[in-house]
Structure 1
Amino acid sequence: MSVYYDLYTSGNPQKKEEQQALYARVIPSGTINADKFVELVSKSNGFSPATIEGCLQAVSDELQHWLAQGWTVEVGEIGHFSLSLTCDRPVMEKKEIRSPSIHLNKVNLRINKKFRESLEPLQLERIESPYRTNNDSNEERCRTLLIQHLDKHGCITRTDFMRLAEISRNKAIELLNKFLKEEIIRKYGGGKTVVYLKE
């Protein structure tokens, strides 16, 4: 099966007058959620779903434990996990900032060479992205993708909607609020745990 991609410009607003180089981006085939992934692993290896879920949870717990102590952790042939930090503001001198002003930025994953090489060569096929358009039909396309996803998976987060429709955070918020008002969807949960369900 091919990996589909399209070509995009960098979209730098400061260089609108200049011709910009194109870069390739994968057009996602979809998202395999955690439950489906466990099911697929179980079918391909013969381990029970409960065993796989238990192992995954144990790996996750142990990974968090050692990362929280500042270690870099190698997980099988996948790669190395490590932490990166961020400061609340730009700092020129060490004495200008204290530990409470430094926070976790993200968890990095550096893929092992063997794992990466196992993906090569990719079967690539270029297509026009069905998600990229600047006209009004973009909203209809996003609505269709959203409903199809909800019919299949039951719920969606804002982040997953952004990835699914290949839209920005602000556009995703705008459309989700619009679909809420139109009573196409409803919101469940609060804060970072909000998901959207079909109305």
Structure 2
Amino acid sequence: MSVYYDLYASGNPQKKDEQQPLHARVIPSGTLDAKKFIELVSKSNGFSQATIEGCLQAVTDELQHWLKQGWIVEVGELGYFSLSLKCDHPVMEKKEIRSPSIHLNKVNLRINKKFRESLEPLPLERMESPYRSNGNPDEDKCRSILMQHLDEQGCITCVDFTRLAGISRYKATILLNTYLEEGIIRKYGGGKTVVYLKR
């Protein structure tokens, strides 16, 4: 099975009068949620779903434990996890800031070279993205894209909806909240792990 991609011009407001180079972008086949992924791993390896879920939870717990102590953690052939920090405001001198003003920025994953090489050669095929939009798609089209994806994949994240519908994150959030109020979708999880499912 091929990985489908389309070509997009990158927006550069500094050079809006100049032709911009095209960039390849994967057209997502969908999103595999954790439950479906565990089910697929179980079918391909023979381990019970409960065993896989337990192992994943144990790895997650141990990873969090060591990251909180400042370690860089290698997880199998996947790669290395590490933390990055951010300051509350721009700092010019060390004495200008104290520890309470420094927070976690994000968790980084540096993919292992062997893992990356295992994906090559990538079977690529170009196609026109069905989600490409030349303007701001109307709400009926966004709703149709969302429901089609939920019928096929079962769940969706805000980021996926943004990409598939070709709209801004702000617009996607407004629409998802509208659909929640209308009762056509429901929300599962919290924070950055929220996914939306068909009610």
Contact 1:30-1:164 at 8 Å conserved across structures: no
Counterpart CA distance in 2 for 1:186 and 1:9 is 33
1:139-178: CA deviations, max 9, x gaps? 4332112112334566544334224434321120233345
The structure-2 alpha-carbon separation of the partners of 1:189 and 1:5, relative to structure 1 and needing over 3 Å to count, comes to closer
**Counterpart for residue 126 of structure 1:** 126
Contact 2:137-2:166 at 8 Å conserved across structures: no
Amino acid at match of 2:184: I
- Farther-moved stretch of structure 1 (184-193 vs 57-66): 184-193
The structure-2 alpha-carbon separation of the partners of 1:112 and 1:154, relative to structure 1 and needing over 3 Å to count, comes to closer
1:1-199 to 2 correspondence within 5 Å? 1-135=1-135, 137=137, 139-151=139-151, 156-179=156-179, 183=182, 185=184, 188=187, 192=191, 196=196, 198=198
Counterpart CA distance in 2 for 1:74 and 1:52 is 19
The structure-2 alpha-carbon separation of the partners of 1:190 and 1:127, relative to structure 1 and needing over 3 Å to count, comes to closer
Amino acid at match of 2:33: N
The structure-2 alpha-carbon separation of the partners of 1:189 and 1:23, relative to structure 1 and needing over 3 Å to count, comes to closer
Q: TM-score, normalised by structure 2?
A: 0.87
SS in 2 for 1:7: strand
Counterpart CA distance in 2 for 1:92 and 1:154 is 48
The structure-2 alpha-carbon separation of the partners of 1:34 and 1:83, relative to structure 1 and needing over 3 Å to count, comes to same
Contact 2:74-2:81 at 8 Å conserved across structures: yes
Shift of the alpha carbon at 1:198?
Answer: 4.3
SS in 2 for 1:132: coil
SS in 1 for 2:54: helix
1:115-159: CA deviations, max 9, x gaps? 000000001111111111134655433211211233456654433
SS in 2 for 1:55: helix
Shift of the alpha carbon at 1:18?
Answer: 1.4
The structure-2 alpha-carbon separation of the partners of 1:15 and 1:175, relative to structure 1 and needing over 3 Å to count, comes to farther
**Count of aligned positions:** 198
Counterpart CA distance in 2 for 1:190 and 1:36 is 16
SS in 2 for 1:170: helix
Query: Structure 1: any 5+ residue segments left out of the alignment?
Result: none
Q: TM-score, normalised by structure 1?
A: 0.87
Contact 2:137-2:165 at 8 Å conserved across structures: no
